[in-house]
Structure 1
Amino acid sequence: MKEQQEKYDLPNGWKLVRLDDVAIIVTGNTPPTNNKAYFNGDVPFYKPSDLNEDYVKDSKDRLSELGKEYSRILPKNSILITCIGSLGKSGIISKEGAFNQQINGVLPILSNTLFFYYQIISQQFQNSIRSNASATTVAILNKSKFGNLPFLIAPLDEQNLIATQIESLFSKLDEAEKVLEKANKGLRIYRQVLLNQAFSGKLTEKWRRENSIKLSAKQLIHNIEKERQTKYDLELLEWQNSLKKWKETKEGQRPSRPSKPIVPDKPTDEQIHRKWQLPKEWQWTQLGLISFVTKLAGFEYTEYVKYTEKGDLPVIKAENVGQGGFKKTIYSKVVAESVEHLKRSKLNGDELIIVFVGAGVGNVATTPQGHKFFLGPNIAIARPYKEINTKFLEYFYQSHRGKKLLLATAKAVAQPSLSMGNIRQTPVAIPSKEEQFQIIQIIENQFTLTNNLEKTVDNVLNEIIALKHSILKKAFEGRLVTYTSNESIEKLLDDIQEEKRLYLENQKELNRSKPKQKKEMEEKKTILEILKESNSPISAQELWEKSTSDGDIERFYSEIKEIYHQIDELKTKTESLLTLKDENK
């Protein structure tokens, strides 16, 4: 600690100590999950996901009174800090409760809780947490290392003054944040209102009255149908000629048999209006009737697509299709020559791309013009005929109503998905080509304004975060308040040590008086013993809870590594299960 003292320019009357010197530190635990009697009661059971605000009002999970007997409990106004996984997530609990093994609880002794909490969330203390954590796959800071972290202690009156001043300043900043977040929410709502107005025809109502059009929506769609049929007839004739030549070629010299062209989609009998009132000048149709919809076949993707840093063709994936359109990322790449024959999967810009499986199902975007891409997995592509503006389709399916039409047939399974047939049959409302352009112009002008406003709001929100960090830095450098006192910091530390001693003695007495049932928790077994006795594979979580590790995650991982050669890992959709290898195999 002497070396640490030299790194800090301590304010007058302050002292640098270990966190464990001035607080009770407790690592959480979980009662055996195979016994339902321990759960679903009235006792809060806090997990890292509950620690999202200063004061944690309650927990999502609960323990019974019996479960409480098997758990480590801290009183209200204790501070919980995540020390496994999402390091540093913190909160002050408003109710007495238990907490799991990912969390260390801190109970300040004879000190101001807010003084402790604000120092714990300060950048300096958070950096200490991260720099002292074990460098494993999952970040871990055990109780011993956590308790040894350097902590600044000030005279109690000064702690109170600092906490009050931080609360006052943060309160004003929090109010400003609420106003700005409300403004951001309003901008998001405005964008949806604008899209709904656009695709009900109200946005261009005045424009239609004042302008004449060359080609009605009905005639436009009729022309596309004729063009599609003409194209199919030509492809069919070409195929018939190719097939004739193929049959005339000797068997040993024949190339692959020519593929018959796909018959153009026909309108379904399904009622597509869906109670959606349109202007009389607009026309309902389906996406597959005004564009060519396809995807890369699974076998083609597996056989021909190989990502490589030396590739010259970027691949579009689902991550590039957000709720607000196209998103640039660091692209995977393929060698263009290796996929030259997969012509339908080459993107030249201005195509509509649609996520058809996974979390982002139904998201749409337009590929950037002037760029070449290759179509990746889980994405369908729609190439509209020239009379249809791709951006119009993108905005249509980004609107609340449009997206609802697109997702109407999505399968409600673990991974929601759309079939190509359903995408082709998705309804879309089309105006004239001129009105399509007019709608896009209005939307993009308004979106530019709202995006600029949103960026300004986000910048101010970031400035508020920076200002909070600055306030905490000043506070724990002794520069936030002016204070002069004769209060002895040494006496405060002595009083804390005595109070801590009495608290721990009292806890020992309470533990002795707890029911003998608690022995079940104390009589835990090694990982190897548990696996030998288990008749079926067991999850890592259950193994951890039953083992002798008892809250020490590093010890748990160390024990796993020692016997890993004896373990088989069975992966399911949701978790990994562990079992001993069959020696007879």
Structure 2
Amino acid sequence: MSDELPPGWALTDIGSLGRYINGRGFKKEEWKKAGLPIIRIQNLNDESAQFNYSDQQHEGKYRVDDGDLLVAWAASLGVYVWNRGPAWLNQHIFRVEVEERAVTKPFLYYALKDALAGLYKKAHGSGMVHITKAKFNRHPISLPPLNEQKRIVSKIDELFSRIDEGERAMERVSKLVERYRQSVLKAAVTGELTRDWREARKAAGQPIESGEALLTRILTVRREAWENAELSKMQANGITPKDEAWKKRYVKPSEPSLTGLPILPEGWVWASLPMLCGVASTNGISVKGANAPPGIPALRLDALGDSGFDYAARRYIPIANSKAERLRIEAGDFFVSRANGSLALVGRAVLAQEPPELVVFPDTMIRYRPADELGVGYWLQRVWQSRLVREQIERKAKTTAGIYKISQGDIAEIAIPIPPSEERAAAISLIDQRLSQVESLSMEQGQSRKRAGALRQAILRSAFSGSLVSQHPEDEPASTLLQRIAVGRAEAKRTMPARGPKKKSR
């Protein structure tokens, strides 16, 4: 893109094109079951998300009506046009009073979408991001004449509608794929998938490991893994234990909550995630980073996918190598997202594949290290994708300031069905056989969505560089519009009543 603006255009900033009014910080005790809905970030990200309500009157600046332009500036960034009736606005969202002397609302909507894509790259945080109002207001925007703005919006709408049509078709297929995927996973986690396997074993007189024996073996392996890790630490520090007293530091793992869960097949057992790990879980690190070296590579939250990490989704953070080693991602590590603006994404998990180099993880993830001797890592990833686990997560997730969170304590209560080793191997084989084709289709659709997103960004870049539509010399230049705003604001300031002197307190 050339730095030279098209004829009639002017360079300005976001702040000059409107007033951006932050929502009110509603307290939890103010939430009611009736009144006007309170718009929180999750209500913008997910139209099915439940509202909280307020039956009180608040300042008019916090009221939102249909057609209002909203900008989420924390946790997840986004631009929205509200269309669900009168409501109150929560904090971390701007309501935009558009400066209509210089810009149309539809044009500003698209301009802000384009601007947020640039601001995201500079945003604070490695996962849950936010932008300061000062940086937001200062972000540059290339402004065309009003008539050209209308032509640009018309062309964007036309092109985006074609993309929308393709995405709707993909969404229909995605729903069918997910429905089939969940039916396979439900059969797997309830033991229905391996019913024939168990009956064949029983008919052949082959023994099936009891649930009690399996649980004992799991806990024995966990304790042995902990003891080995502790011995390694002591040896690294030059310490030789004189007796067995150090073993008393071992903390038994939390047991899962079994309320409302189905009955498992013979030989299966319920376990918690801490039961399956030989070392304690660990939160990641929160350090402001940059998009390029120098520094230690640290994943962003969006690196987490269903089939592994996207190791290219990273920032670079200034931490010591010794600290980076403690937070190094290793193949087989199991990561759970502990915070997200979407209820559907909080608690999402992934089994890490081998990283290409030393990479650490952000504080929006929790690391678990399943004991190698149990060989449950891949089963964990499959079970975690099922509705059985998902429903437990969503019941436990709590929301604060528009962010859904789940703690290590909550995760420790999640019940995970564990079949005996041989049956687990048989189940995994059957899952892979049945899901291999649909998961290939899902990956293709994921790539198609990325291409659609990239195409939208390319259209916006073209629009705001002046190359999407032609310029008309007779259009009133944008510089004239900006001058009109400056004069109007100066006049408003001049005629504003002067403040009286502050009264002295006695």
TM-score by length of 2: 0.55
The one of 162, 178, 184 equivalent to 1:172 is: 162
The one of 474, 483, 486 equivalent to 1:488 is: 474
User: 2:489 & 2:183 partners in 1: Cα distance?
Assistant: 60
The one of 91, 100, 108 equivalent to 2:100 is: 108
Q: State the 1:399 CA deviation.
A: 3.3
Alignment partner of 2:441: what SS?
helix
Query: Which residue matches 2:388?
Result: 401
Deviations 1:198-248 (A, max 9, x none): 13333234555667667432469659969999xx9xxxxxxxxxxxxxxxx
Query: Which residue matches 1:257?
Result: 243
Matched, 1:27 2:53: no
Deviations 1:37-89 (A, max 9, x none): xx999999989888779xxxxx9898977723xx599997675667x779995
Q: State the 1:295 CA deviation.
A: 3.5
Query: Which residue matches 2:419?
Result: 430
Q: State the 1:461 CA deviation.
A: 1.6
The one of 3, 9, 16 equivalent to 1:16 is: 9
User: 1:139 & 1:457 partners in 2: Cα distance?
Assistant: 36
Query: Which residue matches 1:463?
Result: 451
The one of 121, 131, 134 equivalent to 1:140 is: 134
Q: State the 1:153 CA deviation.
A: 1.1
Q: State the 1:174 CA deviation.
A: 1.9
Matched, 1:7 2:4: yes
Deviations 1:526-568 (A, max 9, x none): xxx9xxx9xxxxxxxxxxxxxxxxxxxxxxxxxxxxxxxxxxx
- Matched to 1:437, the amino acid is A
- Give yes or no for contact 1:293–1:381 (8 Å, CA) kept in 2: yes
Query: Which residue matches 1:196?
Result: 186
Structure 1's 333 and 466: CA in aligned 2 closer, same or farther, altered over 3 A? same
- Matched to 1:439, the amino acid is A
- Give yes or no for contact 2:393–2:411 (8 Å, CA) kept in 1: no
Q: State the 1:468 CA deviation.
A: 2.4
Alignment partner of 2:99: what SS?
strand
Structure 1's 488 and 76: CA in aligned 2 closer, same or farther, altered over 3 A? farther
- Matched to 1:259, the amino acid is A
Structure 1's 489 and 190: CA in aligned 2 closer, same or farther, altered over 3 A? same
Structure 1's 507 and 419: CA in aligned 2 closer, same or farther, altered over 3 A? closer
Deviations 1:296-338 (A, max 9, x none): 499xx9xxxxxxxxxxxx9x99x899795765868999879x9
User: 1:159 & 1:271 partners in 2: Cα distance?
Assistant: 57
Query: Which residue matches 1:295?
Result: 279
User: 2:182 & 2:3 partners in 1: Cα distance?
Assistant: 57
User: 1:294 & 1:488 partners in 2: Cα distance?
Assistant: 73
- Give yes or no for contact 2:23–2:62 (8 Å, CA) kept in 1: no
- Give yes or no for contact 2:17–2:98 (8 Å, CA) kept in 1: yes
- Matched to 2:194, the amino acid is T
The one of 59, 68, 71 equivalent to 1:67 is: 59
Matched, 1:285 2:269: yes
Alignment partner of 1:217: what SS?
coil
- Give yes or no for contact 2:69–2:80 (8 Å, CA) kept in 1: yes
Alignment partner of 2:134: what SS?
coil
Structure 1's 455 and 500: CA in aligned 2 closer, same or farther, altered over 3 A? same
- Matched to 2:388, the amino acid is R
Alignment partner of 2:144: what SS?
strand
- Matched to 1:190, the amino acid is Y
Query: Which residue matches 1:153?
Result: 145
Alignment partner of 1:256: what SS?
coil
Structure 1's 488 and 222: CA in aligned 2 closer, same or farther, altered over 3 A? closer
Q: Which runs of 5+ in 2 are unaligned?
A: 123-129, 224-239, 284-295
Q: Which residues in structure 2 correspond to 1:82-93 (within 5 Å)?
A: 89-92=78-81
Structure 1's 480 and 255: CA in aligned 2 closer, same or farther, altered over 3 A? closer
TM-score by length of 1: 0.49
Deviations 1:339-358 (A, max 9, x none): 9xxxxxx99977x8687999
- Matched to 2:208, the amino acid is A
- Matched to 2:244, the amino acid is P
Structure 1's 442 and 169: CA in aligned 2 closer, same or farther, altered over 3 A? same
Q: State the 1:16 CA deviation.
A: 1.9
- Matched to 2:267, the amino acid is Q
Structure 1's 380 and 370: CA in aligned 2 closer, same or farther, altered over 3 A? closer
- Give yes or no for contact 2:37–2:54 (8 Å, CA) kept in 1: yes
- Matched to 1:454, the amino acid is S
Q: State the 1:395 CA deviation.
A: 3.5
- Matched to 1:436, the amino acid is R
- Supply the RMSD in Å over aligned alpha carbons: 7.2
- Give yes or no for contact 1:115–1:159 (8 Å, CA) kept in 2: yes
- Give yes or no for contact 1:16–1:153 (8 Å, CA) kept in 2: yes
Aligned residue pair count: 439
- Matched to 2:167, the amino acid is E
Alignment partner of 1:454: what SS?
helix
Q: State the 1:196 CA deviation.
A: 1.0
- Give yes or no for contact 2:39–2:87 (8 Å, CA) kept in 1: yes
Q: State the 1:458 CA deviation.
A: 2.0
User: 2:218 & 2:63 partners in 1: Cα distance?
Assistant: 74
Query: Which residue matches 2:429?
Result: 441
- Matched to 1:153, the amino acid is P
- Give yes or no for contact 1:23–1:108 (8 Å, CA) kept in 2: no
